[in-house]
């Protein structure tokens, strides 16, 4: 059974104020952002009875020009990097935040956000269709057509193990086809203000028309963090589950995260807690990571590094970046 299909997502708000306002004063009216409706990040006020509409970016960090003066991080070995202070809506570091780049498996954050937004029952058992991934070297779980698994376990396989066939299975379950799901991804990106993004698949394998940027990833990741289940999944180092193989019956598997901070492949930044994240790697994208972090003072942050030339560069740059900027 397919999830509630929101393939055609409502992009524009309607102000239904007639008969609701009496006298003068200020009334909050929720209006979603849309690229074509004239709303902006900076000012949006209704003229009806002085009704005041909340700003789209009221609780978000604003995209800014490069802010790298107080950091010694080398930008010669990566393509983009940012650190965002969630509580105070401050950009602590920004290097090429709006540069359109291949995101690799960071794409799966948007995929799982759409699943969480569109599917009510994560314990629903779904049947895997044709999820063949032909790109050599791509990370796959090895699902076969006819396998049966819960939606929740499939989310873990996709986010923790970063399985491309898992992401494709999620897309097919929600929208029917990869192409229809990509339409949903692009519509949701537009709603979030992620205007430097365009998606053509749910997993992030290389395509010239598939791109995003560090700032857009911050917007998408921040939206996904509103779901406790998402926070729980990205905080997982190892996960055991059972599924029904079409060929062999019930099978139990254990998967490990691709996040080397959790596997102790690299030491976490001192006095900073890594609450979760997502990695990505392809030849076109380089090495990428986005993290949800908490400072020693208990404040949350989002940090992104994209296009690093090696895993050493990726993790060392991220550690240095967090240490220099989150020094409360």
In a domain, 131, yes or no: yes
Q: What is the pLDDT of residue 53?
A: 35
In a domain, 285, yes or no: yes
Q: What is the pLDDT of residue 97?
A: 96
Whole-angstrom distance, CA of residue 198 vs CA of residue 247: 37
Mean pLDDT of the 185-212 span: 97
Q: Which of 242, 218, 213, 109 is nearest to 170 (CA)?
A: 109
Mean pLDDT of the 135-154 span: 96
Polymer length in residues for the chain: 328
pLDDT digits (tens, 9 = 90+) for 66-89: 877 778 889 999 999 999 999 999
- Output Rg (C-alpha) for the chain, integer angstroms: 20
Mean pLDDT of the 113-130 span: 98
Query: Regarding predicted confidence, which is higher, 108 or 37?
Result: 108
Range 267-293 burial, b when 16+ CB lie within 10 A, else e: ebbeebebebbbbbbbebbbbbbbbbb
Whole-angstrom distance, CA of residue 276 vs CA of residue 290: 9
Region of residue 184 (phi > 0: left; psi between -120 and 50: alpha; otherwise: beta): alpha
Mean pLDDT of the 301-316 span: 98
In a domain, 43, yes or no: no
Range 220-247 burial, b when 16+ CB lie within 10 A, else e: bbbbbbeeeebeebbbbeebebebebee
CATH number at residue 89: 3.40.710.10
Question: Which domain covers residue 273, as residue numbers?
Answer: 80-325
Q: What are phi and psi of 305, to 5 degrees?
A: -130, 130
Whole-angstrom distance, CA of residue 138 vs CA of residue 7: 27
Q: What is the pLDDT of residue 328?
A: 65
Q: What is the pLDDT of residue 33?
A: 38
- Percent pLDDT > 70 in the chain is 81
In a domain, 253, yes or no: yes
Q: What are phi and psi of 129, to 5 degrees?
A: -95, -150
In a domain, 230, yes or no: yes
- pLDDT tier at 217, thresholds 50, 70, 90: very high
Query: Regarding predicted confidence, which is higher, 14 or 113?
Result: 113
Mean pLDDT taken over the chain: 86
pTM (two decimals): 0.84
In a domain, 130, yes or no: yes
Whole-angstrom distance, CA of residue 153 vs CA of residue 252: 12
Region of residue 310 (phi > 0: left; psi between -120 and 50: alpha; otherwise: beta): beta
Query: Regarding predicted confidence, which is higher, 8 or 320?
Result: 320
In a domain, 192, yes or no: yes
Q: What is the pLDDT of residue 4?
A: 56
In a domain, 51, yes or no: no
pLDDT digits (tens, 9 = 90+) for 169-180: 999 999 999 999
Whole-angstrom distance, CA of residue 136 vs CA of residue 145: 20
Whole-angstrom distance, CA of residue 265 vs CA of residue 88: 31
Query: Regarding predicted confidence, which is higher, 40 or 71?
Result: 71
Cross-strand partners of 238? 256
Mean pLDDT of the 100-125 span: 98
Residues 6+ apart with CB under 8 A from 96: 66, 75, 79, 80, 81, 213, 214
Number of domains in the chain: 1
């Amino acid at each position: 059974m397919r999830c509630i299909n929101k393939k055609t997502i409502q992009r524009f708000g309607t102000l239904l104020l007639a008969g609701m306002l009496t006298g003068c004063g200020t009334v909050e009216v929720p209006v979603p952002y849309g690229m074509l409706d004239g709303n902006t990040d900076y000012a949006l006020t209704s003229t009806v009875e002085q009704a005041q509409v909340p700003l789209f970016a009221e609780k978000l960090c604003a995209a800014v020009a490069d802010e790298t003066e107080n950091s010694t991080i080398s930008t010669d070995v990566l393509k983009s990097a940012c650190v965002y202070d969630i509580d105070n809506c401050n950009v602590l570091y920004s290097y090429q935040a709006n540069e359109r780049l291949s995101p690799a498996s960071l794409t799966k954050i948007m995929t799982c956000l759409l699943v969480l937004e569109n599917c009510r029952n994560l314990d629903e058992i779904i049947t895997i269709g044709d999820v063949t991934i032909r790109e050599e070297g791509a990370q796959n779980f090895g699902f076969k057509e006819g396998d049966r698994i819960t939606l929740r376990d499939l989310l873990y396989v996709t986010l923790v193990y970063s399985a491309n066939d898992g992401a494709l299975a999620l897309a097919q379950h929600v929208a029917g086809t990869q192409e229809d799901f990509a339409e949903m991804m692009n519509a949701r990106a537009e709603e979030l203000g992620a205007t430097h993004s365009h998606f053509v698949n749910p997993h992030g394998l290389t395509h010239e028309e598939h791109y995003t940027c560090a700032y857009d990833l911050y917007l998408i990741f921040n939206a996904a963090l509103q779901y406790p289940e998402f926070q729980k999944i990205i905080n997982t180092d190892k996960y055991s589950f059972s599924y029904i193989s079409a060929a062999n019956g019930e099978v139990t598997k254990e998967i490990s995260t691709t996040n080397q901070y959790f596997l102790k492949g690299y030491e976490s930044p001192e006095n900073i807690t890594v609450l979760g994240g997502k990695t990505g790697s392809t030849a076109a994208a380089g090495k990428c990571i986005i993290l949800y972090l908490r400072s020693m003072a208990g404040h949350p942050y989002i940090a992104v590094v994209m296009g690093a030339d090696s895993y050493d560069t990726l993790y060392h740059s991220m550690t240095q970046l967090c240490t220099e900027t989150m020094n409360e």
